[in-house]
A and B are shown apart, each in its own frame.
Chain A
Amino acid sequence: MRLYNEGWLRGDFRVVFELVDAGIVWTAIESAPDAGTYRGHEGVRAYMQDWLDDFDFEWWRIEESTEVGDRLVCAQLARGTGKASGVTGDISYACTYSFGEDERIVEIREYATQTEALAAASA
């Protein structure tokens, strides 16, 4: 997961896609402007590129991770600066990760809070 986050931070899709299954299903945070479900490497690339286009990320880290069944629930925090605004801020959210047999990520679901993510993973 550390490699995965570093990949995102650098915008290095090659690294990211090595860790992500080609059939990945990524459901973005429900309240985000671009909320929706993105599929496959290209879908994921488009989603993340939307963020990378407008923000320079300083760091992107996992604050806490918990295994719930076959899923990993992570509380995440990223610090970024808007390219046009110059506003620097933190965005905290949570994700549940599901892994395939080859240990690649096959599904990611984003949530506004860790509590929501844990509840969803436990359901």
Chain B
Amino acid sequence: MRCAACATENPSEARFCMACGTRLEAMCPQCGAKAVPGARFCIACGAAIAPPREPVPAAAEAPDLPEERRRVTILFADLVGYTAMAERMDPENVRELSNRVLRRLAEEVAGHGGVIDKYIGDNVMALFGAPVAHEDDPERAVRAGLAMQTAMKQLDAELGESYGVRLQLRVGVNTGEVLAGRVGGSYTVSGDAANVAARLQSAGRPGEVTVGEATMRATRHAIGYRELPPLTLKGKSEPVRAWEAVEMLARQPAGHGGRTGAGDATPFIGRADELVLLDALLARVEHEERAHLVTVVGEPGVGKSRLLLEFERTLAERDAPPKIRHGRCLPYGAGVVYWALGEVVRAECAIVDDDPPETARAKLHGRLDALLAAATGDSEEARTRKVELVGRMLGIGSVADGAEDAEATREAAFAALRSCVQAMGRERALVLAFEDIHWADAGLLDLIEHLAQWVRAPVVVLCLARDQLLGSRPTWGAGTGAASMVRLQPLRDDEAQALVGALLATGAQAELAPAVAARSGGNPLFAEELVQRLLEEGTDDASELPETVHALLAARLDALAPFERRVAQHAAVIGRTFWRAALEPIARAEGGDLDGALAELEARELIVAERGRDDEPELAFKHVLIRDVAYARLPKAVRARKHVEVAAFLEERAGERAGELTPLLAEHFGRAVVLGEEARLPDAELAPVRARALVLREAAGDAAAALFSNAEALGHYEAARPLAAEPAALDEKLGDVALRLGRVDRALEAWEAAAAVVDAPEDVARLHRKAGGALWHKGDRTGAIARYQAGINLLKEAPRTLELVRLYGDAASLYLERGENMLAIYAAEKALRLAEQLGEARAAGRAHGIFGRVFGRMGDAPRARASLERFVAAARELDDAETARALHELAHHLEHAEASYEEAGRRYREALALAERTGDVPAQIELRAALARLAVVLGDWDAVAAAAQECAALAEQEGLSAKLCLPQALRGWVMWHDGRLPDAEAELAAAATGAEDVGWSEIAWAALYGQALVQRDRSDLAAATATLERADALCQRAGLAVQQVQTAAALTATHALAGDTQAAAATAQRTASLADSLPYPVARAAAREADGIAGPGGPGALREARDLWRSLGRRLDAERCERSLSAAPAAVAHQP
């Protein structure tokens, strides 16, 4: 049969064109003449013509709705035996019979809340969830299918009697996301979910309801199923899992009643203890005059915001209520750096959105300067600098200069902010409330912790977060020293019932409270929304209430008039908070009453008025889930275009201050690109959006990187990269922030990509240096050296550059790490000479650090210390990260050479605090391990065990496998102390191997030394000797002078224990000789001990060694000497 519309030849039985769906005109089956519409017999030959289908009118009149993405359950039903029946029966009878059957089936669809989408011959397509969603559409659809089968059996019996025909029904049901809207004037849905439903129906058995996996999963609590062998469906590349519905496990849901108005405010129930706790914390900060961080954690809807609201209400009743400032984090993820903080500061300074830049700046300076003047002794110049830093952080005022050091800028800004918050708190007790911090950028989280740790004023930092915060930031608040966490659990059954009972008290459905409370699962939002719906619909059937809040909110949105729903959807593109003016275009386009729609949304408690400008208050979705559901409904193409519109609106509104919104605009344009590509918008339309998104993403990344908000910066750069035609510069920046985050492989990948396309030698050399640093992090020191060499060779013949200085400086550090002292000195000399010529202070400072370490290894303590102090002093002039590095090196010298453990500990701790502040995870691991090694020396085993755990967690979390030898060695020492000798030996051996693999000679030595002690404790003296000899060779190779004396002393004791007095005496002599050239206390004590064990010194030397160890605070070593003294001479040995 040829289609009149598209000329496609269709099979003879086709009623609709298989190519374009046009109804095909009926033709006489006998002579082929075109049938007259409505004719029952051919006008050419008189043969009977199969009647055209006259369907039962669709239950859903095509509604005037725009396209939406919806999660819908689709039901297809097909009459089996219809064609054969039509051949045998009079067309009038066929029509009467089919109308009767289809009407009956449609009644079942409608009775379960579905709508007939269309009739396709003897097929019925029904929708559940479009155009109006219910909370349990999949269940309704399956129930409808089962009811249709029951009805069909009845009909079959009736039809058998009346007409002598047999009919059966095949039903297929499937659930999935579809695009819903008008097609050719009719409302329908399209998408794979619908195709699969049709195929399931075709493949199903007559008399059965065959469902797909999504439907089964959504309904298995209510429907019993039998799984079928996977079905091979037309158009599907893989077999599809399918089930037959067997029985209903729960009772049939009943129909809905009409809607009533929205409920009253929700009573505050079940959170009295938490309220008391918050009150007590406020009293505590007022008493202690230092900040406290309290984080309220819980699932969406559990009542975090409500707790905050009630807390505010109780505070307002005080005679002298504290000041409350709010900051809300945006659901766009981490893109908008410090947004919530901006809200706090703007509110404090009374800055409103439409203030011109100079007004905003003046307000900022006016208020913050007054605060600082009252609370600090800062000079005017210092105050101005602080205010500038705060303004820069928030994008009010000058933009950060790219040449500035990002870490230093961030540190200074944090300190400035701390001063301001402290001043606010000293003026009046302060509650800083940050909502939804699970969406906060890492920088803001760092800042909140910083404030909690350092502010010395009565300030409660109250944060609300979902559980996901602790997933992404498991140590949240741990380092602040003043932090609490309040976990809001769902309400108990009695509390939930009390809540629901109170909400239902005014309605006629009060008896439903237990059922509704149970359905709510103790989630107050669920309970509130469930009741709201009951009240709106006047229904008394709690069983049909939603399974999830998502479905519930989708249903509430569907209860809106089309224009109101459109307003909600478009508002959702802006975010949880939005402004009326941003919605005017939709009102103009659709001719709707915007104020009326907003009023209705507010009346239905979907949105609430928030703080904002006097002339334009902010509006917000009452709950972000409402926003999410509304947003997801918009087709991607619409969302893409809408994001561009919103960005344009925001830019226009911000005027000259649009720069402050760069991250937000980047998010909108970025989303527009992603959605536009998914929706396959025309290239001509997308190209300018891509270009704009690229510029904004990169700028937002730069801004975040400048503030050391590395995760956010990385996110922006990653998002920008696919947009860039020439991504080399972007790749380099991406690699920089990836390395800061410890994502070494990603950094290397990015730099390799950049190096492949850049030409200038200095650029290539710089990328070599960066790659060298990354390889060093990974433990590939040979690879790292090769990269440094490649960079140096590119530049050494060219005019002097800072890049060459850096290459020599980094290479020098690596040589030192490998124990290649002369190569380190060579490289450091080069770096220093070039740095001084070029005025590069950082590289010059590092060169002095390297000199210091080499002097230390040579036993020249005064010159070592002088060089290292010079390094620290130079670093303090630069930034925190450099200072941490310098302090680490100084502390190392103090520990190993001078045995000044207290001072070393102080320097390590200062360095650790700085490394934590700058987010330098590798340094944190090394410094924690260093402190733990001090704890080993001083015998604080609990501290050692804790540090081992922390180091391992950090190293594993960041994928820093080269650092794992540190916690491994610490664990080994703890096992030794606990007497678990086999475990200790294995752990220390693994640590030694790991450290040697990455050329970390000092760690390898510590592990080998420990391993030998364990072996000796196990009386395996041969193994201990071999291990100590290995350690000795390592010391010689790496220039570890002090450690070499300790090794020789231990070897002396081991020989003595083995009864080899000759070897012991020789080693004791060697120990003394090594110590002679090394005037360090540990070397001297070890040499005296060896002399006491196997040399001429005897007990007198041992007593001297014991006293020396004691004077150094090395309790374990002193005890060992004591034991040696009390033992028989033959057993005198180097016992731990």
Contact = CB atoms under 8 A, between A and B. Distances in A.
B825 to A, nearest CB: 5
B793 A87 contact: no
Nearest to A34: B792
Contacts of B820: 31
Given A54-B830, A82-B828, A91-B823, 6 more contacts: A54-B826, A85-B828, A86-B863, A87-B851, A89-B825, A89-B858
Given A33-B811, A33-B823, A87-B825, A82 B851 contact: yes
Given A82-B851, A84-B847, A87-B855, A33 B826 contact: yes
B785 interface: yes
Interface string B818-856: 001111011111101100000000000001000100110
A33 B851 contact: no
Contact of B829 (A31, A32, A35, A83): A83
A38 B253 CA distance: 89
A51 B796 CA distance: 13
Contacts of A87: 825, 851, 854-855, 858
Interface string A52-84: 011100000000000000000000000010111
B789 interface: yes
Contacts of A86: 851, 863
Interface string A108-120: 0000000000000
The 4 closest A-B pairs by CB, nearest first: A54-B829, A85-B851, A91-B822, A33-B827
A36 interface: yes
6 contacts: A31-B785, A34-B793, A35-B789, A36-B789, A82-B829, A85-B847
Contacts of A12: none
Nearest to A79: B822
Given A34-B796, A84-B847, A87-B855, A55 B829 contact: yes
A53 B826 contact: no
B1109 interface: no
B847 to A, nearest CB: 7
Contacts of A31: 782, 785, 820, 823
A36 B796 CA distance: 12
A18 interface: no
Contacts of A33: 788-789, 792, 808, 811, 815, 823, 826-827, 830
B1036 to A, nearest CB: 11
Contacts of B832: 84-85
A31 B815 CA distance: 9
B914 to A, nearest CB: 26
Interface in B764-790: 782, 785, 788-789
A34 B808 CA distance: 10
Contacts of B829: 54-55, 82-85
A32 B854 contact: no
A55 B833 CA distance: 12
Most A CB within 10 A of own CB, among B820, B826, B863: B826
Nearest to B821: A89
Given A31-B785, A33-B830, A54-B829, A89 B854 contact: yes
A33 B796 CA distance: 11
Interface string B436-459: 000000000000000000000000
A95 to B, nearest CB: 16
Residue among A53, A85, A89 facing the most chain B CB atoms (10 A cut-off): A85
A34 B793 CA distance: 7
Nearest to B786: A35
A36 B826 CA distance: 16
A86 B832 CA distance: 13
B170 to A, nearest CB: 77
A85 B792 CA distance: 21
A88 B857 CA distance: 12
Contacts of A51: 826
Interface in A10-58: 31-36, 50-51, 53-55
Interface residues of A, number: 22
A91 B442 CA distance: 48
Contacts of B833: 53-54, 84
* Chain B interface mostly: helix
Contacts of B855: 87
B898 to A, nearest CB: 18
Contacts of B867: 85
A84 B828 CA distance: 9
A33 B792 CA distance: 7
A34 B795 CA distance: 11
Given A84-B833, A85-B828, A86-B863, A32 B823 contact: yes
A92 to B, nearest CB: 9
Question: Which among A36, A82, A90 has the greatest number of chain B C-beta atoms within 10 A?
Answer: A82
Contacts of A53: 833
A88 to B, nearest CB: 8
A96 to B, nearest CB: 20
Contacts of B815: 33
Given A33-B808, A54-B833, A89 B822 contact: yes
A84 B836 CA distance: 11
A86 B870 CA distance: 15
B825 A85 contact: yes
Residue in A50, A83, A84, A88 whose Cβ sees the most chain B Cβ within 10 Å = A84
Nearest to A90: B822
Contacts of B827: 33
Contact of A82 (B792, B796, B811, B825): B825
B823 A85 contact: no
A33 B794 CA distance: 12
Contacts of B821: 89
Contacts of A34: 789, 792-793, 796
Contacts of A89: 821-822, 825, 854, 858
A94 to B, nearest CB: 14
Nearest to B781: A31
B861 to A, nearest CB: 14
Given A54-B830, A55-B829, A90-B822, A85 B785 contact: no
B390 to A, nearest CB: 42
Contacts of A90: 822
Contacts of B851: 82, 84-87
A85 B826 contact: no
A88 B1101 CA distance: 33
A117 B783 CA distance: 22
Contacts of A84: 829, 832-833, 847, 851
B15 to A, nearest CB: 82
Nearest to A31: B785
B854 A85 contact: yes
A87 B863 CA distance: 10
Nearest to B811: A33
A77 to B, nearest CB: 11
B265 to A, nearest CB: 73
Contacts of B825: 82, 85, 87, 89
Contacts of B785: 31
B616 to A, nearest CB: 63
Contacts of A85: 825, 828-829, 832, 847, 851, 854, 867
Contacts of A83: 829
Contacts of A55: 826, 829
A108 to B, nearest CB: 18
B203 to A, nearest CB: 69
Nearest to B829: A54
A28 B796 CA distance: 15
B539 to A, nearest CB: 81
B773 to A, nearest CB: 15
Nearest to B807: A33
Contacts of B854: 85, 87, 89
A87 B825 CA distance: 8
Nearest to A36: B793
Q: Which of A31, A33, A36, A80 has most B Cβ within 10 Å?
A: A33
Contacts of A91: 822-823
Contacts of B863: 86
Contacts of B830: 33, 50, 54
